[in-house]
Structure 1
Amino acid sequence: MEKPVVFIRNFEAGIYLESFLVAAVASLLAIRLFLQITGYPQIGGGELHIAHMLWGGLLMLASIITLLSFLSKASARLAAILGGIGFGTFIDEVGKFVTSDHNYFFQPAVALIYVTFILIYLATRAIQTKRNYSPQEYLVNALREMEEAALHDLDEEERGRSLLYLERSSPDNPLVASLRDSLARTAAVPVPTNPWQLTRIKLFVKSLYHYVSGFWWFPLIVVAFFVAQLIINVVYAFVLVFFIGLGWEQILDVRVVRAVAERMKNLSFTDSAELGSSLLSGFFVLCGVIRIQRSKLLAFRMFERSILVSIFLTQVFAFYKEQFSALLGLFLNIAVLIALQFMIDRERLKAVTSDK
């Protein structure tokens, strides 16, 4: 008899997390933009002030009630979006609750928000990838796919996933054979041709990327991008140490090692940390450039590590100093990371097929 599993992982958790994070970031940015445009109005009168974090709490409560009350995938997706909007609205006011004077404009608040989103993403990824899925988890997820059959909404993709999960379930479980027979007798509906907006955008970007990445010059552009990034990191380190750390009037007075050490003392912690993470990112880029002729796969993995260092380290300090103006760099890093992961998958597939 199989040992019962207390926590059954949902194979579609990544989709819901994506909706949650997108909704959270969008709501946070929308609130900041609205407050900036309207001059930060106060809801309430006199000593009464209704903080918008309360609305965030209500939306998160609505999300929990939706999850507890309904079973369909549509309700789970709605709960993820409501929860994301609520969480973004809630955490926007974190500055008020980490300062003694309730300072909404506390400079490190944006960095704290960014780190929180990163930790949510990493925690969810760890839950999904920490260990292999068990036969019980495959069976339970197959049952969840079968919910669509009960609603007369099972399409061919969902049927295919259900059959795949059943193949990886324990054959000794009597439910496996019964579910496989039920799937064979259930009529599938056509795959939706008009998916919801985020899915439509993802499909468009994916198809566009598949098309562009097929050209011979695409890897060259990626390599050129990272070489340019390496040069920028080196120039940034030079400017940070010699211009900011020392000052323009003393630039000509250079005594190499001792002078550099003295200048480093003049840098703030955030400048030093951003410098260190930028140099580490540049080191991985250099490793990738060196290995590009020998192995594209190894080179792309080095580039991926460089981008991950930028996202998880450098951007934290960028948000601390620049606040929301650092979003452009974050979006660029995420776009490059997605591109690299696709290229790594392609190179890995080539390596597997060439070994056969």
Structure 2
Amino acid sequence: MRRLLVRLLHLDLVRSAKAVQHLTTFVVTAVSTILVTRLFLALSGYPRIGGDTGLHVAHVLPGGLLMLVAMWLQFSYIGPGPRAAAALVGGAGFGLFIDEVGKFVTSDNDYFFEPSAAIMYVVFTGFVVGARSLRRRRPLTDAEHVAGAAHVLVDGLAGRLSEHRRQEVLRTLDAVGEREGVGELRSLLERVETRTPGVPQRLEGVWQAVADLFARVSSSRFALPAMGVLLLAQTAGAAVVVLGAWHSRTPHGIPVAGVLLGATLSLVFTVVGSWQGARRGRRAAVESFQRSVLTSLLLTQVFLFAVSQFAATAGLLVDLVLLGLVNADLARTRRVPR
């Protein structure tokens, strides 16, 4: 029975080497869109688009349109070019869509339904954890790396390949070694003419420039202790904000519980990371710091927004910087054996 189910559900799809980058762009954009949207609505007094006409254009509608645009980009164009733009546009659209989940799970269309933050948290956490678990359990095979290079060649044959991307793919083929199709792909990639990157390639270029900056900063000998201090300060700040609000009896129990749970988990991951760094090396510390940042981003800040929009927005910015630093450090340390 199990073999039959595996055979029926086997989609036979080739995975992308850029999947983690695009999925991260999608999730970070979606979470950022939620927090920025709620901050704007709070500052503007929650205006109704449509005024006093009896109509209200909920922002779930432009969210759906942005997701439609992301799908249109994927369906209409071949090659890896549109994926960066689709991840960005689709993430913004999904953020606008799921921000109004409270209206669709309550009979009175309550946008401020408290468990909405928990629903959003479960969705994003499941998405991120599931994607990362699948990639760690099943790394890309050499055949998939070769197929990915052939996919990039599509842009080259159409005259839309940047020199940076070509060199990146050639390095991937060097790592694969001798395999069927590698020689032919290398020959074609070396012969195609490159051009100035277009908008989708420039989006990836921006990502690369930011990644290079984080890589330089994270390589400093002061980076690891600085990350630990920032994580502790971030955790303490969230706890102070929510406890102060609880003392003034402003929020209800669910947001407070969510923030305290997230802050506690982040604190545990940070302390464990510092301890592991002293015993097992930098890589173990960075991996634990990464769990701390993701917990803060996907749990603490989502619930904190119900308590203080400004604190959650500031926390988001700090989390994004920390996420960039730990990911850059982790990418470098993973290239070095334990």
TM-score when normalising by structure 1? 0.69
1:221 aligns with 2:226: yes
CA contact (8 A) 2:114 2:254 kept: no
Query: In structure 2, what residue type is equivalent to 1:60?
Result: M
CA contact (8 A) 2:269 2:291 kept: yes
Relative to structure 1, is the Cα distance of residues 304 and 93 closer, same or farther in structure 2, using a 3 angstrom cutoff? closer
1:62 aligns with 2:40: no
Q: Which residue is equivalent to 2:126?
A: 119
SS in 1 for 2:82: helix
Deviation larger for 292-301 or 326-335: 292-301
Q: Which residue is equivalent to 1:108?
A: 115
CA distance in structure 2 between the partners assigned to 1:201 and 1:165 by the alignment: 21
Relative to structure 1, is the Cα distance of residues 127 and 324 closer, same or farther in structure 2, using a 3 angstrom cutoff? farther
Q: Which residue is equivalent to 2:315?
A: 329
CA distance in structure 1 between the partners assigned to 2:62 and 2:234 by the alignment: 42
Deviations 1:123-148 (A, max 9, x none): 43345444122344223212111112
Unaligned 5+ runs, structure 2: 1-6
Query: In structure 2, what residue type is equivalent to 1:282?
Result: L
Query: In structure 1, what residue type is equivalent to 2:15?
Result: R
Higher RCO (CA 8 Å, separation ≥ 6 residues): 2
CA distance in structure 2 between the partners assigned to 1:163 and 1:7 by the alignment: 23
Relative to structure 1, is the Cα distance of residues 94 and 139 closer, same or farther in structure 2, using a 3 angstrom cutoff? same
CA distance in structure 2 between the partners assigned to 1:295 and 1:126 by the alignment: 22
1:178 aligns with 2:173: no
Q: Which residue is equivalent to 1:8?
A: 14
Q: Which residue is equivalent to 2:4?
A: none
Tell me which structure has the larger Cα radius of gyration.
Answer: 1
CA contact (8 A) 2:157 2:192 kept: no
1:149 aligns with 2:177: no
1:278 aligns with 2:263: yes
CA distance in structure 1 between the partners assigned to 2:230 and 2:35 by the alignment: 29
CA distance in structure 2 between the partners assigned to 1:84 and 1:317 by the alignment: 20
Query: In structure 1, what residue type is equivalent to 2:159?
Result: H
CA distance in structure 1 between the partners assigned to 2:303 and 2:33 by the alignment: 23
CA distance in structure 1 between the partners assigned to 2:286 and 2:179 by the alignment: 43
Deviation larger for 102-111 or 215-224: 215-224
1:310 aligns with 2:296: yes
SS in 1 for 2:184: helix
CA contact (8 A) 1:110 1:323 kept: no
Deviations 1:237-262 (A, max 9, x none): xx96xx95xx9xxxxxxxxxxxxxxx
Query: In structure 1, what residue type is equivalent to 2:12?
Result: V
CA contact (8 A) 1:19 1:80 kept: yes
CA distance in structure 2 between the partners assigned to 1:27 and 1:306 by the alignment: 21
SS in 2 for 1:107: coil
Query: In structure 2, what residue type is equivalent to 1:63?
Result: A
Report how far residue 96 of structure 1 moved: 1.0
Q: Which residue is equivalent to 2:194?
A: 189
Relative to structure 1, is the Cα distance of residues 162 and 299 closer, same or farther in structure 2, using a 3 angstrom cutoff? closer
Unaligned 5+ runs, structure 1: 248-266
What percentage of residue pairs aligned between the two structures are identical? 31
Relative to structure 1, is the Cα distance of residues 317 and 17 closer, same or farther in structure 2, using a 3 angstrom cutoff? same
SS in 2 for 1:138: helix
CA distance in structure 2 between the partners assigned to 1:176 and 1:336 by the alignment: 38
SS in 1 for 2:319: helix
Relative to structure 1, is the Cα distance of residues 131 and 324 closer, same or farther in structure 2, using a 3 angstrom cutoff? farther
CA distance in structure 2 between the partners assigned to 1:31 and 1:6 by the alignment: 39
Query: In structure 1, what residue type is equivalent to 2:313?
Result: L
Report how far residue 68 of structure 1 moved: 1.7
CA contact (8 A) 2:84 2:203 kept: no
Deviation larger for 270-279 or 51-60: 270-279
Q: Which residue is equivalent to 2:93?
A: 86
CA contact (8 A) 2:121 2:299 kept: no
Q: Which residue is equivalent to 1:138?
A: 145
SS in 1 for 2:160: coil
Relative to structure 1, is the Cα distance of residues 119 and 319 closer, same or farther in structure 2, using a 3 angstrom cutoff? farther
Relative to structure 1, is the Cα distance of residues 22 and 190 closer, same or farther in structure 2, using a 3 angstrom cutoff? same
CA contact (8 A) 1:23 1:81 kept: yes
TM-score when normalising by structure 2? 0.72
Report how far residue 36 of structure 1 moved: 4.8
Paired residues, number: 325
Report how far residue 97 of structure 1 moved: 0.6
